[in-house]
Amino acid sequence: MLTWNVTYHCKPGQREAFYEALRCLGIRENSLREAGNVKYDYFFSAEDSDALLLVEAWTEPALQEAHCQTDVFARLQVLKAQYCDSVTIDKFTID
């Protein structure tokens, strides 16, 4: 199992607009339908009003890599450029 904690560091005051754009894009719903996806959830930071955490889990790394090749993922990159200053990714693998 592969789990990624993806922290989007949004531009000041843009977290809610970014989250709404993600919802409109339907990335969560699309990702949950992909082979091997077992979790794809967003969390708002209580400490940092510009941080949005995505926790995603996949049954195997190859399926997560395939996710990164989808059209929806490509459109996510456009949103990240618009709304985020940076992204931090923590990766965990459990056998």
pLDDT digits (tens, 9 = 90+) for 49-67: 999 999 999 999 999 999 9
> CA nearest 6: which of 50, 33, 40?
40
pLDDT score, position 95: 72
- Give the pLDDT band of residue 94 (cuts 50, 70, 90): confident
pLDDT score, position 12: 98
- Can you give the pTM of this predicted structure? 0.93
pLDDT digits (tens, 9 = 90+) for 61-85: 999 999 999 999 999 999 999 999 9
Residues 73 and 65: their CA atoms lie apart, in Å, by 11
pLDDT higher than threshold 80 for residue 16: yes
Q: From 3.90.1150.10, 3.40.605.10, 3.40.1830.10, 3.30.70.100, which CATH number describes the 2-93 domain?
A: 3.30.70.100
